Amino acid sequence: MSNRLAHEKSPYLLQHAHNPVDWYPWGQEALDKARQEDKPIFLSIGYSTCHWCHVMERESFENEDVAGILNEHFVPVKVDREERPDLDRVYMLFVQASTGSGGWPMSVWLTPEGKPFFGGTYFPPDTRYGRPGFGAILKRLAQAWREDRPKIEESGAHVLEQLLQYSQQNVEGRGQVGQNALDSAFYAFRRSFDARLGGFGAAPKFPRPSVLNFLLRYGTATGNEEARDMVLATLGAMAKGGMHDQLGGGFHRYSVDENWFVPHFEKMLYDQAQLATSYLEAYQITGDAQYADVARDIFEYVLRDLKHPEGGFYSAEDADSAPDPAKPKEKSEGAFYIWSYQEIVDVLGEPDAVKFSRRFGVEPNGNVQEDPHGEFTGRNILYQAQEVEDESIARSISKLLEVRSRRPRPHLDDKILAGWNGMMISAFAKGAQILGEDRYAAAARDARDLLRRHLWRETDSTLLRRYRDGDAAIEAFLDDYACLIHALVDLYETAFDPADLKWAAQLAERAIALFQDAEGGGFFSSPANQGDLVLRLKDDYDGAEPSGNSVMAVALLRLARITARDDFRKAAERTLEAFSGRLIAGGSGLPQMLVAQMFAMGKPMEIVLAGPRDQQRGMLAEIRKRFLPNAVVMQASEAPNAMPAVDDRATAYVCENYACKLPITEAPALAELLQ
């Protein structure tokens, strides 16, 4: 048997296509059914690599009795949060406001008009962990809908009114954001910094690269070495820990402990993209090859396991997989990645196994002390326990990786998202610049071309969000436009193709038309014509992903600097003004917006190159080995003022604070000037 989800393209929805629950995808059919049958909607939001989403499916959505209650009393609707982040934000705001926490799977009950009246996250099938059972909740809510309908509808309307007020108000007012706001954010991160183990706050520890972006720029602008050192300590600890896949490269989602040792094993594309950039910038600042090596390691993972044959990158890999190939449906977290000591001996032989185990902390009886679910009994999570200089280590990694590749793989979410691909294009473009790897530039171009081919509607200059299995759908949201504009600027600074600037400008014009708040400044996350949304929000929190407003502010400022487009600069400045109250009151929630603010406040630098391209390589190498966060690099052909080459030689003009120094024709002289 299958339900309506069988006709969808989302891997998450397809995972639920054979549940006995009569699922609907979000859309007019489900909303009409709720109104016609006068039933509340049960909205379940998750994503295909979500561990607790799988648990709730096994426990409740595959249960015939629970499905019977859902089908009789509710209109059950499934949403992939990665396809519809706009819906996710609205109802997550409600769940967080009403329960004090949020996460996925998200479970929300709505009136037929889409107004939320009850919600939560994971519900066990029966009462446990201090949580009421899912079946009991369904019966109670069905009874309440029958017997106390006016109160529920009044509650839904009241909740929506409160959320609307919250989304529209600017409690802190507006003001001039100055150095004090930047200092205040630095001290907030300093207070939460774990000086012993790296990272910010206690367990669980998340990477949150936007924080690293801010601290590196703050440290560079102020000369504050402590800001830089917090980032370097965090990146170093993460690279050594179990959160970093020591065999196959890339990073898992987060660490459940404070030591970066036991990860939640899913791998997300946006983490790979942002962390690769952080390691590249650390390499620029320090010249320490260990950071470059980690960036390469991330890129190798993405190119090997997440690359679409046409270019572009898949979204994620699951945390769960089958330990036993003969039982593919019996999955546990991290099974693909963990090892018994005997498995390692069997593959490597005793002498090499001993050296490998010393290097990566492998113990004969397993190395995970706290294991509440018994998933790691007798197994080892690999981490860099100690330095072992031996030529056998690289050979051992290669052998174990080959053996691991034959295990049942975690589920791959193979949809391509415009915004996440934009982040990865940026990372590969930066990798090509800083590491001098042509392969990375090619990967970035291939991804750009796939997005242009499948997700760009030339007829009305509209970007789409998702491509999978030959199908492109869902008009893009603010973060998709913002991340792709930013990526195209990075690509332009890599190969100086004016077509990248042209497309970036088209996207920026369209994004301003679709999302800008003409009265209040800033950008809404979704367009005004999104008829199925009960609330239109301005996203401003830089969490696991930076907010669309923060990325758009940075992207527009950079694009304006290169193209001399005043409309782009003003849109960015109005965004910073709109969120100025938040930045002054507590900028630590918006670190990427602070990056935009620093770019706007800082001393502007333009580096313009003229003359034969093949003679510019030495100059580009000098520019790219330095961390110059306030600089834009362009060719004279795109510069607003004529800047000729000197004697038909490669020539660099360095302009600071809108004043240009004398042209330079030698790389060493440019290096001295940039110093």
Structural domain count of the chain: 4
Q: Provide the whole-model pTM.
A: 0.96
pLDDT at 169: 57
pLDDT at 171: 44
Q: Which helix (H) or strand (E) holds 398?
A: helix 392-404
Are 570 and 436 within one domain? yes
Q: Are strands 631-635 and 605-610 parallel, antiparallel or unpaired?
A: parallel
Asked if residue 325 belongs to a domain, the reply is: no
Are 25 and 157 within one domain? yes
Are 216 and 291 within one domain? yes
pLDDT at 172: 52
- Do 163 and 117 meet the contact criterion of CB atoms below 8 Å apart? no
Are 594 and 625 within one domain? no
Asked if residue 174 belongs to a domain, the reply is: no
pLDDT at 3: 95
Question: Which residues fall within 8 angstroms of residue 213, CB to CB, at 6 or more apart?
Answer: 277, 278, 281, 591, 592, 595
Residue 569: give its domain's CATH number: 1.50.10.10
Q: Which helix (H) or strand (E) holds 325?
A: none
Are 444 and 370 within one domain? no
One-letter identity of residue 528: A
Domain of 378, in residue numbers: 337-406
Asked if residue 115 belongs to a domain, the reply is: yes
pLDDT at 335: 96
Residue 415 to residue 315: CA distance in whole angstroms:
6
pLDDT along the chain (675 residues), means of 10: 94 98 97 96 97 95 97 98 96 92 96 94 85 90 94 87 74 79 97 98 96 98 97 98 98 96 97 98 98 98 97 97 92 96 97 96 95 89 93 96 97 98 98 98 98 96 97 98 98 98 98 95 92 88 96 98 96 96 93 98 95 96 97 92 92 92 96 93
Asked if residue 332 belongs to a domain, the reply is: no
Q: What is the pLDDT of residues 217-251, one digit of tens each?
A: 999 999 999 999 999 999 999 999 999 999 999 99
Asked if residue 363 belongs to a domain, the reply is: yes
Residue 174 backbone class (left: φ over 0; alpha: ψ -120 to 50; beta: rest): beta
- Do 56 and 122 meet the contact criterion of CB atoms below 8 Å apart? yes
Domain boundary among 168, 196, 213: 168
What DSSP string describes 606-649?
EEEEES-GGG-HHHHHHHHTS--TTEEEEETTTSSS--PPSTTS
Burial state string for 145-172 with b = 16 or more CB within 10 A and e = fewer than 16: beeeeeebbebbeebbeebeeebeeeee
**Cα separation values, 596 from 138, 229, 547, 579, Å:** 46, 22, 12, 11
Q: What is the pLDDT of residues 386-417, one digit of tens each?
A: 998 888 999 999 999 999 999 999 999 999 99
Are 313 and 445 within one domain? yes
Residue 642 to residue 325: CA distance in whole angstroms:
65
Are 290 and 156 within one domain? no
What DSSP string describes 546-569?
--HHHHHHHHHHHHHHHH--HHHH
Are 438 and 401 within one domain? no
- Residues present in the chain in total: 675
CB atoms near residue 16 (< 10 Å) = 24
Asked if residue 331 belongs to a domain, the reply is: no
pLDDT at 566: 97
Are 163 and 303 within one domain? no
Residue 161 to residue 167: CA distance in whole angstroms:
10
Are 468 and 557 within one domain? yes
Asked if residue 324 belongs to a domain, the reply is: no
- Do 628 and 604 meet the contact criterion of CB atoms below 8 Å apart? no
Domain boundary among 385, 406, 427: 406
Task: Kindly state the DSSP code that residue 662 receives in the 8-state scheme.
Answer: P
Domain boundary among 545, 577, 601: 601
Residue 211 to residue 235: CA distance in whole angstroms:
12
Are 595 and 610 within one domain? no
pLDDT at 170: 53
Asked if residue 322 belongs to a domain, the reply is: no
- Do 467 and 454 meet the contact criterion of CB atoms below 8 Å apart? yes
Are 365 and 266 within one domain? no
